[in-house]
Structure 1
Amino acid sequence: MHAIKYITAFLAFLALPVSANAEGQDEKKPVRPKLVVAISVDQFSANLFSEYRSSFTDGLKRLSGGAVFPSGYQSHAATETCPGHATIMTGVHAGRAGIIANNWIDLDAKREDKTIYCAEDERIEGTSFGSITAPTQGDYIASAWHLLVPTLGDRLKKISPDSRNVAVSGKDRGALMMGGHDVDAIYWWKGKGFTTLNGRAISPAIGALNSGIAAKIDKARAPYAIPSRCTARNRAIAVKGGQSVGNYAFQRPEGASRIFRASPDFDGVTVNAALALVQSMKLGQGEAVDILSLSLSATDYIGHAFGTGGVEMCIQMNELDRNLGILFRALDTQNIDYIAMLTSDHGGHDLPERLQEQGLPQAQRIDPKLNAKHIGAQIRKTLALPGEEPLLHADSPFGDYYLSLSLDAQTKAKVKAEAMKLLTNHPQVHAVLDGAILAAMPMPQGPVEEWTIAERARASYHADRSGDFIVLLNKAVTPIANSGLGYVATHGSPWEYDRRVPMLFWHKGITHFEQPSSVKTVDIAPTLAALIGVDIPADETDGRCLDIDGGAGNSCD
């Protein structure tokens, strides 16, 4: 009954006329949109935004005419897709959300595969995640179960049950981390079309879209025309491992649908999926406020496959701008009153071979012996420990390392000390941080760009999921030994190029302004919440409401 009264009062407030001040001038009221469109462009760094900003003519130009925060930060050290998406619509740091990385190790897991994927429910018997880079990934059930906090959509649904919370992404983890637990519709790409949560039926609108995709995806595709501003980047770069990148325009031969994701076409169909749901569900056209979370993944797949400095990324920036324009014009045509927010889950770094050509000699690929298996074998030999069981477990050469559960306390302490010493002394390692020390640290405060490396790691640390110690690599070290798996570049470091992302807000009522000072992605949820009348208690967020109208609209009141 109280919720109904609140909603009725809130809707009545939306209908109030603009009041006049003492001078007779109209007093500007806060923006109250009917649809929140929260967009994450995977691996869209602040550097990419700045580099291409002057060339945007469509969707990104529109966003650049609103409230612009060019120095947004993913505060944490684990700059990966799942942690980054977990901050955007929850307003809390990745560690507090329980999403410490894309994958972590749970040696107590009741299955042979101890790797836990951030967006799976491993409690379901018979499932296994396997490897995200494997040709055939494990049979897991996608779920937001690991997300320990509510999203903005979850909070809105509690006070306004008629509101719709919808999420669409090229990746399941993008949709699940932004949508949360209480979603009316949620879709992500799988195979050759969009799928949804286990046990839910595909909507007719998405089913029709999937049929159209299936009819075209295996057909040959002509290359994209190369914009004139991209021609200087159209140059092949030889990569360790045998391949070259830098001059590919996304042409595909017949039957090559497997490379569809690493092309601008992928964002195009994801936008189409979002618009199919907007139209079929009439989002933003009812009495209640709705939320659409949209995660576009092509920039990330292109960054991994080709790096960020070649013609491939230049074409993608042109097409991203165009695809966002298609999205916004479609919403305009339906006369939907919406606010659009765009940010990214993390930044990215170019491939070391191109960076070396550009005068960055410290750019290098990781030593293939820098991994848990090799370091563990060294420790066993040094400490003369019997047996062959792995002493250390890790999902990658950097990030969380876990000590074997079979070790007694004394041996465990010796192994940990030796491992931290060996890794600290490696020339490609910047720091090795003790998990126990991180656990005892308070969550960092103050200007995010001034946080220490330990404070950045603390923001993505969770006592029940993080490793016994954390390994962080030097700047410009790419944790890919060669391009054999099809990836030439990546992200995941605690450095600015991976942490700094743009944060853009646009609404027809927002006056353009730019705030160059640093802000954080955990500020997004409190900011959007204030606009739609959702109260997030101060002790349930690590962010703050940002004034996105330069004080004119009192958007944080």
Structure 2
Amino acid sequence: MGNRNLISIIFMLLSVCAIHAQRGKKDKVEMPAIEIAQNPKLVVGIVVDQMRYDYLTRFWNHYGEGGFKRLVGEGFNCKNHHFNYMPTKTAPGHASIYTGTTPSVHGVLGNWWYDRLDGKSVYCVSDDNQNPIGTDLDAGRMSPHRMLVSTITDELRVNTQMRAKTIGIAIKDRGAILPAGFTANAAYWFEGKETGNWISSSFYMDQLPTWVTAFNSSEAAEKYKRPWETLKDINLYVESAKDANEYERKFRGEVSSTFPHALPELWDANEKFEMLRETPFGNSLTTDFAMAAIDGENLGTDNVTDFLAISYSSTDYVGHAYGVNSIEVQDAYLRLDKDIQRLLESLDQKVGKDDYMVFLTADHGVPPAPGYLQDVGIPGGFLSEHAMKEELQEFLSYRYGTTDILKNISNFQVFLDRDIVENLDMAMGDLQWEIGQQLLKNDKVQQVFTGYQMSQYQFTDQLAGLLQRGYHQKRSGDILFIPPAGYIPYREAGTDHGSPFVYDTHVPLLFYGTGIKAGSTTARTEVTDIAPTIATLLGIAFPNGTTGNPIEAVLE
């Protein structure tokens, strides 16, 4: 009887274990997979140079279904997206988008800035230690060496042990180089002039790849040597001002700024292929080259995420020349819409519609031409940094007996000679204040702040805060000023940018594709949020200087 009980107990125990094993196995099978990151085959970053947010809405009814409307309709639209620093220029814009921080950290203060150590102005990406590739001109002596922190493209390369490919492409060198970062496989920009070639630097390579050489030899740029006519009937461009007005610049040799712009007849007088920069054809050529790069570099063809950074530079050239309300600007965006459609359709075919992610933004906005503002009764005007310098020199000569204290005025900043200041036996902060108060007497100056204030205080005021986030303790000037709204450095025609005002800070931000929700938000987002959003989606480290935060609403 005892043996029977023992056998029964053993049988029961084995049955219970079997049941639990089956349950455990069943539970294990049914447990949902945890998705910790997205793995698109390709990320495409698009920066449209000088694109105001209202270009998206103002020209909406003219856009086709496959470009901007596709990105907005199927993607996520951040409607209240802003730059959070001053100066709003091309180089710091691209650097901020890709580093997730501001000039106070990444160190790219402008396209050009005064280097007090060298005593001269320096260009943001110039590098005499590099050799030109694909050209004999100094236009190829470039690198990102003046940027001080990593980019999202760098972090992708590091995360994948350099297996990910990252490529930067733009008509402007700075628009290709700064997004591509320090570890890029390549960055390419447009030489223009006699050749119309795409070139690079020894920072990236020893010679151009075969596909680039073939593209340059294919006369791809020559096909755009044609008249620039409006894409649609010019009478339909009711969102813009009349065709010719006094706010617009003319090509050399043009009698009027009216359409059509006869590129073939004006070709030689305007440095030949350089003309393409200043027309929508520069953006079309950029799209052609980007599509060739996807093929030539085999981007998005495996399970390691690649990154293609494209900057459309020609919208900036057109905007500077003709202004916000011009038919030229409207036509440039209608043509860009078609180029974006071409690019998306190419990605659908070559990478796969569900296998890539795109974000589109701008590096800054722009105000209407000040002459136009004045004519319609809105405050606006011009300032001259040269005139400011002359006025300050007169004050310094009278007050201190020397003008040598003043070294440079640029990017709305005043640089002083610190060695001479020491000999004056005066505290730098006091001298900055006194000169700043003199500068404030100029009616073209709205606010003045000193370097001492920027270093010692944390500003919560909106304009002062933007100025502070653009201030780098080692590289910035001793006195910083803000012009009144609507005022720009003097130009014979067109407009300019760089201020902390909303017309320069409010730009589009669209996300589309793998891992992106469909929808929109009117909550404020900032340029420094883009890189950490992409990093979060990919599950990689943020760029090492990041000060922004992921935009939670965008991500699935």
**Pair 1:364 & 2:372 matched:** no
Moved more, 349-358 or 64-73: 349-358
1:530 alignment partner AA: T
Larger C-alpha radius of gyration, 1 or 2? 2
Give the aligned partner of residue 76 of structure 1: 85
**Pair 1:462 & 2:472 matched:** yes
**Pair 1:62 & 2:77 matched:** no
Q: Match for 2:412 among 374, 399, 405?
A: 399
Give the aligned partner of residue 197 of structure 1: 201
Q: Kindly report which structure 2 residues correspond to 1:324-339, keeping only aligned pairs within 5 A, or say none.
A: 324-336=340-352, 337-339=355-357
Q: Match for 1:379 among 389, 395, 410?
A: 395
How far off is 1:239 after superposition?
3.9
**Pair 1:507 & 2:518 matched:** no
Q: For the structure 1 residues 248 and 420, does the alpha-carbon distance in structure 2 shift closer, same or farther, using more than 3 Å as the test? A: farther
Give the aligned partner of residue 158 of structure 2: 158
Q: Kindly report which structure 2 residues correspond to 1:309-320, keeping only aligned pairs within 5 A, or say none.
A: 309-320=325-336
How far off is 1:313 after superposition?
0.6
Moved more, 169-178 or 412-421: 412-421
How far off is 1:400 after superposition?
2.0
How far off is 1:213 after superposition?
4.2
Give the conservation status (yes or no) of the 8 Å contact 1:33–1:531: no
Local SS of the residue matching 1:529: helix
Q: Matches of 2:340 and 2:112 in 1, distance apart? A: 30
Local SS of the residue matching 1:517: strand
Q: For the structure 1 residues 466 and 212, does the alpha-carbon distance in structure 2 shift closer, same or farther, using more than 3 Å as the test? A: same
2:551 alignment partner AA: L
TM-score by length of 1: 0.82
More helix by share: 2
Deviation digits for residues 484-534 of structure 1 (CA, Å, limit 9, x no counterpart): xxx521100010110111110011664421101110111111111122221
Give the conservation status (yes or no) of the 8 Å contact 1:80–1:346: yes
Deviation digits for residues 460-490 of structure 1 (CA, Å, limit 9, x no counterpart): 111110001112111001211x41xxx5211
Q: Matches of 1:245 and 1:420 in 2, distance apart? A: 43
Give the conservation status (yes or no) of the 8 Å contact 1:347–1:498: yes
Q: Matches of 2:447 and 2:104 in 1, distance apart? A: 19
Local SS of the residue matching 2:87: coil
Give the aligned partner of residue 453 of structure 1: 463
**Pair 1:346 & 2:364 matched:** yes
How far off is 1:535 after superposition?
2.5
Give the aligned partner of residue 546 of structure 1: 551
Give the aligned partner of residue 144 of structure 1: 144
Give the conservation status (yes or no) of the 8 Å contact 2:220–2:285: no
1:37 alignment partner AA: V
Calculate percent identity across the aligned residue pairs.
Answer: 26
Q: Matches of 1:492 and 1:226 in 2, distance apart? A: 32
Give the aligned partner of residue 39 of structure 2: 32
User: What 5-or-longer segments of structure 1 have no aligned partner?
Assistant: 1-18, 128-136, 445-449
Q: Matches of 1:139 and 1:104 in 2, distance apart? A: 18
- RMSD, aligned CA: 3.1
Q: Matches of 2:488 and 2:538 in 1, distance apart? A: 42
Structure 1 runs (4+) deviating above 6 angstroms are 19-22, 26-30, 137-140, 240-246
How far off is 1:158 after superposition?
1.1
Give the conservation status (yes or no) of the 8 Å contact 1:247–1:311: no
Q: Matches of 1:358 and 1:535 in 2, distance apart? A: 49
User: What 5-or-longer segments of structure 2 have no aligned partner?
Assistant: 1-27
Give the conservation status (yes or no) of the 8 Å contact 1:226–1:249: no
Q: Matches of 2:53 and 2:176 in 1, distance apart? A: 22
Deviation digits for residues 292-344 of structure 1 (CA, Å, limit 9, x no counterpart): 11111011111111111110011011011111111111111114311010001
Q: Matches of 2:103 and 2:414 in 1, distance apart? A: 18
Deviation digits for residues 100-132 of structure 1 (CA, Å, limit 9, x no counterpart): 2222111321xxx7101111236x4999xxxxx
Give the conservation status (yes or no) of the 8 Å contact 2:41–2:351: no
Q: Kindly report which structure 2 residues correspond to 1:101-250, keeping only aligned pairs within 5 A, or say none.
A: 101-109=110-118, 114-121=120-127, 124=129, 141-160=141-160, 161-191=162-192, 192-198=196-202, 200-213=206-219, 216=222, 219-227=225-233, 228-231=235-238, 233-239=241-247, 247-250=258-261
Q: Matches of 1:55 and 1:20 in 2, distance apart? A: 52
Give the aligned partner of residue 131 of structure 1: none
Give the aligned partner of residue 281 of structure 2: 265
Moved more, 244-253 or 271-280: 244-253
How far off is 1:220 after superposition?
4.4
Give the conservation status (yes or no) of the 8 Å contact 2:150–2:545: no
Give the aligned partner of residue 87 of structure 1: 96
2:507 alignment partner AA: V
